[in-house]
Structure 1
Amino acid sequence: MRPLLPSLRRSATPEAAYANRMIIALTVTLASMLELLDTSIINVAIPHMMGTLGATLDEVAWVSTGYVVANVIVLPISGWLANYFGRRNYFAGSILLFIAASFFCGNATSLEALVFWRIVQGIGGGGLISTAQATLYEVFPPKEVGTSMAIFGLGIMVGPTLGPTVGGYITDTFSWPWIFYINLPLGLIALLFALMFVPDSKYGSKAEKVDYVGLLLLAAGIGCLQTMLERGEKLDWFDSREIIAYAVVSVTSLVLFVWQELRHEHPVVELHILKDTQLSVSLVFTFLLGASLYSTVFIFPVYLQTVLGYNAWETGLVILPGALASGLTMAVMGKHVSKTTIDLRIYVVIGAAIFGYAMWQHGQFTVWSGNDDFLWPMILRGVGLGMIFIPLNNLALGNLPPHQMANGSGLYNLTRQLGGSVGIAASATTLVKLQEINRGELLHHVDRFSALAHERLIHIKALLAQHGAAAVVIEKKALLLLNQQVAKQAMMLSFERLFLYFGVAMLAAVPLLLLMQRTHFSRKAGDDLAH
C-alpha cells in the first residue's frame, strides 16, 4: 500500500488535471449519476419494502423523503465544505459515505434503520453534483467547457429518467436490497478514480471560523421546506397542522439564515454572489427547468402505467429515446457552444420553443396512444431540454470569479432540485384537482337521460353477456365498467392539461433572458481558468 498512496496524491494535482480532464469528467459524472439515480430508483420497490419491513405506505415514504431532504440540505453548503476539507478529500469522502450507506440500506432489517441510512446516503450524495460541476469548470480549458458540461449533463438527465426502469428490473429480477448494492461496484470505481485524478481547487480557502448558527438555520429551513413538498399532497397541504408547522419553521429559519449569512464574516453560503444579475435570473430559469424536467419524469410514467397499463420496463423503453436524444443534443451543444460567438440566449429560446412544442404533442395523447405516438414527442422533449441545459449553465456561472464557482454551482443545483420538488408536488396536487373537475363535467353527460350513455351501457351489457356473465350481475358490472371508463377519461384529460401547463411554464420563462447579458463562458470567467 505504501507505493500506491503517494502515486494517488501525485496524480490528483492541479498540474495533472488538464491531462486527465476526460477521466475526471467521466468520474464526477458517474458519481453524480449514481446520486440522482437513487432519488427515483426506489419508487417501484416501495411495495416490496412495505411487505418485507411491515410498514405502511406513509411510513415507508420516509425512505424517499429522508434521502431528498438530506440531499438538499448539503447542496448549498457543498462549496464551503469543499473548501474546509479540501475538494479532493470532500468529494472522495462523499462517495465513500454514499457507498457505505448504500451497503447498510441493503442490509437494513427495520424501517428505522433503512430511513437512517438513507439520510446518511443523502448527506453523502448531496456533495457530489455541485462539487463535480465546479471541478469541471476548473480543470477544462475554456474551449472545452461545453464538452465537459455535455458529459456532466448526460448524467444529470439520464439519472432521474432511468431510475424507475432500473429499479423495476432489479427488483423483479433479484430483490429490493439490490437497488442499493448496485451502487457498490460503480461507487468504488468512482472513488478510486476520484482519489487518483480529482485535484484540490486552486482557488479554495478554508474558513477561519465555522458558522454553526447558519448551518443549523439552513438545515431547518431547507429540510422543512423539502419535507413539506414531499408530504403536502398526502396530508392535504395546509389543512394539516403538520404541513403548517413545516411552513412556519421553514420560512422563519430561511429568513434568519439570510440575515445571519449577510452579517457573518465567514458565511457557509456566500449570498453576496446573488448581486450578479446574470446568476440571479438564471436561478429563476433553472428553477422552472428543474420543475419541467422532474415533473415530466414523474407524470409521464404515471400516465403510461395507470392509463395504459405499462409496466416499469415498458415505461423505461418508451422514455429511453428521449434520454438518448437529450444526451446527443448536449454532446453537439458542448462542441458547438465553446466555439461559437452566437448569443447563448438564442439557444435557450430555441430549446424552450422545442420543449413547448413537445409538450403540446404530449397534450394530444389519448387512452389509445401507443409507442409510435410517443417516439417523436419524447425525442423532441429531450432535444429541447438538451439545448437549454449547457447554455443556461454557462449563462448562470459565466460571470463568477473562479473562487466563487463552487458556491454558485451549489446554489444553481439546489435551485434546480427545489424546482423539481415544487414541480412534482404541484403536479401531483393539480392532477388530483383536475381529475375531480373533469370527472364532474363528464358525469353531467352520463345519466339515465343521456342517449349516448344509454347506448354505451347496452353495448357493455352485450359484451358481458357474450363472455358468459350471469344475468343477475350484468347490470351491476356494466355500471361499474362505465364508471371506470369515465374515471379513465377524466384522468386522461387531466394528463393532457398538465402536459400543456409544463410547456407554457417553460415558455413563460423566456422573457427572463432579456435581463441577462450576451454571455459566452470562454470569453469571461473561463479566461481565468485557462491553462
Structure 2
Amino acid sequence: MAEAAAGADAATISRFDPPPLTGGKLVLGTVALSLATFMNVLDSSIANVSIPAIAGDFGVSPSQGTWVITSFAVSNAISVPLTGWLTQRFGMVRLFTLSILLFVIASLLCGLAPNFATLVVFRVLQGLVAGPMIPLSQSLLLQSYSKEKSGIALAFWSMTTLVAPVMGPMLGGWITDSYSWPWIFYINIPVGLFAIVATWLLYRDRESPTRKLPIDTVGLALLIIWVGALQIMLDNGKELDWFASVWIIALALIAAIGFVFFLIWEISEAHPIVDLSLFKRRNFWAGTLSLSLGYGIFFGNVVLLPLWLQQFMGYTATWAGLLMAPVGILAILITPFVGKNLQKVDLRIMATVAFASFALVFWMRAQFNVQADLFTLMLPSIIQGIPMAFFFVPLMALILSGLSPERIPAAAGLSNFVRITAGAFGTSIFTTLWEDRAALHHAGLVESINGASLPTTEALRQFSALGMEDGRGLAYINRLIEQQAYMLSANDLFLASAGLCLGLIAVVWLSRPGGAVGVADGGGAH
C-alpha cells in the first residue's frame, strides 16, 4: 500500500504543469518574484562596503567583519539544497511565501542587533530562511511562462541576480554614508511584504502537489557539519596561520570526512535530502561547475575591489559602490537579447563570450595603480556588463535543459547551493590571499628602505625640512609602501582571475548543446 501511495504521489507530481500566466498577472508575477530574488541576492553583497562601519561600531577588525558576509552565505548554502525536499513536503507557493516572511523578520532583527555576535547569529538565521527563495523564484517564474519563452523567463530572473550584487555595494555605501548601516537590512521589509502579498494572490491557486517524505536527518546533519566546518576553516585560517593551527587541521579533517560520509549516505539513501543523481547528467555537472567557479571568482572580486578602494585609495563607501554601479547598464540592455536567442545560439558559445569578457575585465583591473583616476577605475565596470549578461542565462539554461518540471526545484536548489558555496569560499579565499600577497610585496619593497639608500635619506631630509621627525617620516614612507603592497596584491588576484576565467571556457565545452528548459529528454544530456 505504501509503495502504491508513493507511486501515486510521484505520478501526481509528474503531471503538475500548470498553464502559463498572461497579461497583467504575468507582469505582476514577474515583478514580485524578481523583487524577492533581488532582495535575497542584494543581501549577499550590500554589506560589503558597510563592513568598515559595522566593524568600527562593534569594535572588531575588518577581517572579523567579513563574517557578516560569510555567515549569511554559509547558512544560505546549507539551506538552498533542501529546496527540492521541502517543496515536495510543503508545496512550492507556501514554502516560497513563508521563506520571504521569515527573511523579513530576520532582516529586522539584524538591524536591531545590539552587538557583533548577535548580528552574526541573525545573519545565519537570515541565510537559513532565505535558502529556498532563489531556486523557487526561478521555478515559479519558469512555470509562469510558456516553454517557448523559457529563455525570456530566465533572462528576467538572471537580470535581478546579476544586478543585485553590483547594486549592493552602491546602495549599501549610500545608506551607510547617508544614514546608518542598520538601514541596509530595514529596506528589505517593505520589499518583502509586497512580494509576499503579490505572490500569494497570484500563485496560491497554482500550488504544487505535496507528499509526505521522511526527513533525512543524517544527510542534513552531515551537510551542516562539512559545509560549516569548511567555511569556518576558511574564515579563520588566515588569523590562525592555517595548518600551523591544530584547530584548523581539525576543521579540515571534519570537513573532509563529513563530505565523504555525506556523499556515501546520500547516494544510498532512499529519500535523500539532496538529489545527487542530478550529477549523472553531463549538462548539469558541467554547467554547475562552470557557473559556480565563475561566480566564486566574480564574487571574490566584488568583495575585494570595494575594500581596496576604501582602505587604500581614499574612497568613501558611496563612491566605492558607485564605481561598480555601471556593471548593470550593459547587463540590463543585453540580457533580454540573450534570453530571446537561447534557442537559436549554442549555449556554450554564449558562455564562452562571458568568460572571455570576464578575463578582459580582470586583466584591465590588473593594470591599476595608486594614481588611477575615476574613469580608469570605472571603465572595466562598464565593460563587465557584457559578460554578466552572457553568464547566468546561458549557464542556467544549460543546467536545467532537458529536465521535467517536477525536477526543476531540486536542480535549481542544488546548482544554486554549489554556486552560493563557491561565492562564500571566493570571499574567504580572496580576502586571505590579498593580505598574504600584500605581506610578501611589503617585505620585498622595504628591503630598499635603509640608511644606505640615497632615495630614503633624501626623502627623510625633505620631511625633516617640513618639520617632520625621522620617526614620523619613516611612518609616512611605510604607509606609502603598504598602499603599494596592497595594490600589487590586488593586481595579482585580478590577473589570476583572468587566467582562471579563460580556463573555465574548456569546462563549458565539456557539456552538450542544451535543449528546452522544463521539457524532459530521453537521456541526451546525460
Q: Counterpart of 1:498 in structure 2: which amino acid?
A: L
Q: Counterpart of 1:295 in structure 2: which amino acid?
A: G
Q: Which moved more, 1:87-96 or 1:325-334?
A: 325-334
Quote the Cα distance in structure 1 between the aligned partners of 2:247 and 2:22: 51
Q: Counterpart of 2:458 in structure 1: which amino acid?
A: I
Judging changes above 3 Å, is the alpha-carbon distance between structure 1 residues 21 and 222 closer, same or farther for their aligned structure 2 residues?
A: farther
Give the alignment partner of residue 21 of structure 2, picking from 9, 13, 17: 17
Judging changes above 3 Å, is the alpha-carbon distance between structure 1 residues 253 and 277 closer, same or farther for their aligned structure 2 residues?
A: same
Find the counterpart in structure 1 of residue 376 from structure 2. 373
Is 2:489 the partner of 1:489?
A: no
SS of 2:240's equivalent in the other structure is coil
Is 2:514 the partner of 1:519?
A: yes
Give the alignment partner of residue 474 of structure 2, picking from 454, 476, 479: 479
Quote the Cα distance in structure 1 between the aligned partners of 2:517 and 2:94: 28
Deviations along 1:27-75, whole A, 9 cap, x unmatched? 1221122112222333444555556667677876654443222211111
In the alignment, is the contact (CA less than 8 A) between 1:203 and 1:402 conserved in 2?
no
Judging changes above 3 Å, is the alpha-carbon distance between structure 1 residues 514 and 201 closer, same or farther for their aligned structure 2 residues?
A: farther
SS of 2:263's equivalent in the other structure is helix
Taking structure 1 as the reference length, what is the TM-score of the superposition? 0.87
Judging changes above 3 Å, is the alpha-carbon distance between structure 1 residues 128 and 518 closer, same or farther for their aligned structure 2 residues?
A: same
Is 2:138 the partner of 1:143?
A: no
Judging changes above 3 Å, is the alpha-carbon distance between structure 1 residues 199 and 521 closer, same or farther for their aligned structure 2 residues?
A: farther
In the alignment, is the contact (CA less than 8 A) between 2:162 and 2:392 conserved in 1?
no
Give the alignment partner of residue 307 of structure 1, picking from 308, 312, 317: 312
In the alignment, is the contact (CA less than 8 A) between 1:397 and 1:405 conserved in 2?
yes
Give the alignment partner of residue 238 of structure 1, picking from 239, 243, 265: 243
Find the counterpart in structure 2 of residue 360 from structure 1. 363
Structure 1 stretches of 5 or more lacking a match? Answer: 1-12
Taking structure 2 as the reference length, what is the TM-score of the superposition? 0.88
Find the counterpart in structure 1 of residue 113 from structure 2. 108
In the alignment, is the contact (CA less than 8 A) between 2:332 and 2:389 conserved in 1?
yes
Find the counterpart in structure 2 of residue 193 from structure 1. 198
The percent of aligned pairs where both chains have the same amino acid is: 31
Quote the Cα distance in structure 1 between the aligned partners of 2:521 and 2:382: 32
Aligned Cα root-mean-square deviation (Å): 2.7
Quote the Cα distance in structure 2 between the aligned partners of 1:110 and 1:443: 39
Find the counterpart in structure 2 of residue 383 from structure 1. 386
Q: Counterpart of 2:370 in structure 1: which amino acid?
A: V
Quote the Cα distance in structure 1 between the aligned partners of 2:184 and 2:268: 44
In the alignment, is the contact (CA less than 8 A) between 2:48 and 2:303 conserved in 1?
no
Deviations along 1:362-386, whole A, 9 cap, x unmatched? 1111111111112331122221132
Give the alignment partner of residue 101 of structure 2, picking from 92, 96, 100: 96
Find the counterpart in structure 2 of residue 177 from structure 1. 182
Quote the Cα distance in structure 2 between the aligned partners of 1:200 and 1:221: 39
SS of 1:509's equivalent in the other structure is helix
Quote the Cα distance in structure 2 between the aligned partners of 1:151 and 1:71: 22
Give the alignment partner of residue 499 of structure 1, picking from 483, 487, 494: 494
Deviations along 1:479-526, whole A, 9 cap, x unmatched? 222222222222221111111111111110111233211224369549
Quote the Cα distance in structure 1 between the aligned partners of 2:114 and 2:326: 38
Find the counterpart in structure 2 of residue 434 from structure 1. 437
Q: Counterpart of 1:469 in structure 2: which amino acid?
A: G
Judging changes above 3 Å, is the alpha-carbon distance between structure 1 residues 99 and 385 closer, same or farther for their aligned structure 2 residues?
A: same
Judging changes above 3 Å, is the alpha-carbon distance between structure 1 residues 243 and 17 closer, same or farther for their aligned structure 2 residues?
A: farther
Find the counterpart in structure 1 of residue 6 from structure 2. none
Deviations along 1:262-301, whole A, 9 cap, x unmatched? 2222212111111001111112111211112201101111
In the alignment, is the contact (CA less than 8 A) between 1:153 and 1:327 conserved in 2?
no
Give the alignment partner of residue 158 of structure 1, picking from 156, 160, 163: 163
Find the counterpart in structure 2 of residue 469 from structure 1. 467
In the alignment, is the contact (CA less than 8 A) between 1:461 and 1:478 conserved in 2?
no
Q: Counterpart of 2:375 in structure 1: which amino acid?
A: D
Give the alignment partner of residue 30 of structure 1, picking from 15, 35, 39: 35
Q: Counterpart of 1:180 in structure 2: which amino acid?
A: F
Judging changes above 3 Å, is the alpha-carbon distance between structure 1 residues 148 and 199 closer, same or farther for their aligned structure 2 residues?
A: farther
Find the counterpart in structure 2 of residue 5 from structure 1. none
Judging changes above 3 Å, is the alpha-carbon distance between structure 1 residues 234 and 325 closer, same or farther for their aligned structure 2 residues?
A: farther
Quote the Cα distance in structure 1 between the aligned partners of 2:277 and 2:22: 31
Find the counterpart in structure 2 of residue 325 from structure 1. 330
In the alignment, is the contact (CA less than 8 A) between 1:79 and 1:130 conserved in 2?
no
Judging changes above 3 Å, is the alpha-carbon distance between structure 1 residues 460 and 137 closer, same or farther for their aligned structure 2 residues?
A: farther
Judging changes above 3 Å, is the alpha-carbon distance between structure 1 residues 38 and 464 closer, same or farther for their aligned structure 2 residues?
A: farther
Find the counterpart in structure 1 of residue 321 from structure 2. 316
Quote the Cα distance in structure 1 between the aligned partners of 2:68 and 2:508: 38
Q: Which moved more, 1:95-104 or 1:107-116?
A: 107-116
Quote the Cα distance in structure 2 between the aligned partners of 1:439 and 1:251: 34
Q: Counterpart of 1:17 in structure 2: which amino acid?
A: L
SS of 2:213's equivalent in the other structure is coil
Is 2:272 the partner of 1:267?
A: yes
Q: Counterpart of 2:165 in structure 1: which amino acid?
A: P
Residues matched between the structures, number: 505
In the alignment, is the contact (CA less than 8 A) between 1:72 and 1:223 conserved in 2?
no
Judging changes above 3 Å, is the alpha-carbon distance between structure 1 residues 197 and 279 closer, same or farther for their aligned structure 2 residues?
A: same
Quote the Cα distance in structure 1 between the aligned partners of 2:386 and 2:271: 42
Q: Counterpart of 1:33 in structure 2: which amino acid?
A: F
